Structure 1
Amino acid sequence: MSRIFVGVDVQPGGLYFAALQRNRPNTRLIGLRFESLEGVLDVSSRQPNIRDARRFVEGLRRGVDALAGQEERIALSLPDRAGRIYLTDVDAPFKTHQEG
């Protein structure tokens, strides 16, 4: 039984999709797609990354629907800057959750 694996790479300019079909022992590329989302995504640690959720979801659905067939799972790749964590050093522990 063959299976389709869909990968989605989220970038500020849009969404890149790749679909692989695996039928042991062979794997083959069955499709590539790009959905332009110019102005929809803005990688930021202080502001929401998705400026227009409706357009983002529409682009994601178009790309996945075109390549996935009956497959319901995807692999998602986010920009490196989306995962940055800022560490702070404090001299004394906070007294309350609100203070923190």
Structure 2
Amino acid sequence: MDYEDFKRVVRENGERRVAQGGLVPIPELRRQCPSLDRQAFDAFVLTLHREGAVHLLSHVESDKLSEAIREQCVVHSTGTLLYWLRWL
């Protein structure tokens, strides 16, 4: 999967979730992209953010997420655990 394919998957997920504010759980999105390793997936997410295509948000109760789910989130360079992605 290349960056443009990934971007399409993210956009489609966001559009399907309009009723929920367009919020897509990053762990769920990661499971939909099994061909991407962690480094590539995280880089694509952060590139979308830098380009202004998405907002990245933390989970309100991230300390209550299971370790398995926490491992599937993206960690921002500031150390913030990012759980949600919103297509803009």
TM-score range, shorter chain: under 0.3
TM-score when scaled to structure 1? 0.26
TM-score when scaled to structure 2? 0.28
Give the number of the structure whose alpha-carbon radius of gyration is greater: 1
> RCO greater where, 1 or 2, for CA within 8 Å and sep 6 or more?
2
Q: Which has the higher helix share?
A: 2
